[in-house]
Amino acid sequence: MKEKVQTVLEKIRPTLQADGGDVTLIGVEEDGTVKVQLTGACGSCPMSTMTLKNGIERLLKQEIPEVKEVIQV
């Protein structure tokens, strides 16, 4: 599943990079939890939680039904 998650993150990455940020995959747990780190402008942005839940998590769940939650570490 880690490869699938990485593939979806590659689709999201250009949008984040356009705003000066990025996302790094930290790990995928067996329970469907995906751990990511938002970096650059996204790491300190007050809207990062919204980006994480409404953007990254929504798309990952849509494309990979096994994903249950995305958390920032």
Domain spans of the chain, in order of start: 2-72
Q: What is the pLDDT of residues 20-67, one digit of tens each?
A: 999 999 999 999 999 999 998 888 888 888 888 889 999 999 999 999
Structure tokens at 26: 């930290």
Q: What is the pLDDT of residue 50?
A: 86
Closest CA to 45 of 61, 24, 22: 22
What does pTM read for this prediction? 0.90
pLDDT of residue 19: 87
Topology (CATH) of 2-72: GMP Synthetase; Chain A, domain 3 (3.30.300)
Q: CB burial class (10 A; 0-12, 13-18, 19+) of residue 25?
A: middle
* pLDDT score, position 10: 96
- Do the beta carbons of residue 63 and residue 8 sit within 8 Å? yes
